[in-house]
Structure 1
């Protein structure tokens, strides 16, 4: 075989650690929020080298800013985006991170009782409206996002707490419920007493 007939294999181009771009289609999913990334939406790709190959894990840029700011900052430092791509100022994304951390710090532990700020919410157990200023109990319900399982807060009437605690996807435990409810609630103790009375006796 002639030497000119032997061609060396062309090495695949090495991928950069980060890639910030507009989504080319609507087929990718954000690895942070698990939702679809719409076409032309800014997305951040973080390189992953695994046993089945190398590729990018995609995140909405705003989701990455809230959860993986260090990767966003590195991508900006490395200018991991094409010239001419309109990207938000890094300070704007850093502000998203600060706001998200503040919201997490202010998030209450479940369960707790509160007064409904409006009449728009519905009881997740019976489906009926919860009147404005009426007492409602906030419990944890299991919700699946892809392969992940998370606890999401739901509002229920005090009278519906017993039925909700017996549901398969309720993540609030019966054991120690009243003590946790009192500890986590910020209403006056007499108001919490009213909610506890409406809930009734719970059997673990």
Structure 2
């Protein structure tokens, strides 16, 4: 009998608030990174009350640590691996996961808002509009592109040539607005000289309204 087949009242009595285990199949997906959780990979189940009853939302253990460390820490305090049907191998120390959480927090703090301009650090990246390489140290503009994940839409950063910005803003899945674009680009492009930002804006030219 699967978890879905257990009566709601019985599930509420049996299920712990957290479980840490090796995935028993490869069918579940991580609710943080949206990728498949491979069989045997460490995962954490966080108990929720949903529209169809009570059940676990599954995450890779390290993904959960990066996004909601307080829940992982609570699961460790409850020794949630003891709730697994089979004791998992290789459960990392909480300090290792704390380090991942701190690093993720630092990255979020340093993350630039969209749109912004920056010199390309190498000559390997391609413009997502024209698919041509962006030369090293040439200015590139980072816009948002809306990507669907199930029923959710997330805005992911994409690199484009300044000359391609106007055309990219007209695409249906562009997540960046043309209104207030120049002001936003100046405000968000920290660490770039005003001269280079104005150079990029000149190349961008007139934007669609």
- The TM-score normalised by the length of structure 1 is 0.90
What RMSD in Å do the two structures reach over aligned CA positions? Answer: 1.4
Q: After TM superposition, list the pairs within 5 Å mapping 1:145-184 onto structure 2.
A: 145-184=149-188
Change (3 A) 1:142 1:50: closer
- What's the counterpart of residue 200 of structure 2? 195
- What's the counterpart of residue 59 of structure 1? 59
Post-superposition offset of 1:122: 0.3
- What's the counterpart of residue 44 of structure 1? 44
For the pair shown, the structure with the greater C-alpha radius of gyration is: 1
- 1:36-64 CA deviation, whole Å, 9 max, x = no partner? 10111100011123342322110100111
Post-superposition offset of 1:88: 0.2
- What's the counterpart of residue 25 of structure 2? 25
SS in 2 for 1:194: helix
Q: 1:97 aligns with which of 95, 101, 112?
A: 101
Change (3 A) 1:199 1:51: closer
Post-superposition offset of 1:97: 0.8
SS in 1 for 2:71: helix
CA distance in 2, matches of 1:84, 1:33: 21
Post-superposition offset of 1:85: 3.3
Post-superposition offset of 1:84: 6.3
Q: List, as ranges, runs of 4+ consecutive aligned residues in structure 1 with deviation greater than 4 Å.
A: none
Change (3 A) 1:86 1:203: closer
CA distance in 1, matches of 2:207, 2:18: 52
- 1:42-97 CA deviation, whole Å, 9 max, x = no partner? 00011123342322110100111011211111111111114563200001101111
CA distance in 1, matches of 2:123, 2:151: 34
Post-superposition offset of 1:107: 0.4
Size of the aligned set, in residue pairs, is 194
- What's the counterpart of residue 8 of structure 1? none
- What's the counterpart of residue 72 of structure 2? 72
- The TM-score normalised by the length of structure 2 is 0.88
Considering fraction of residues, name the structure with more helix: 2
- What's the counterpart of residue 4 of structure 1? none
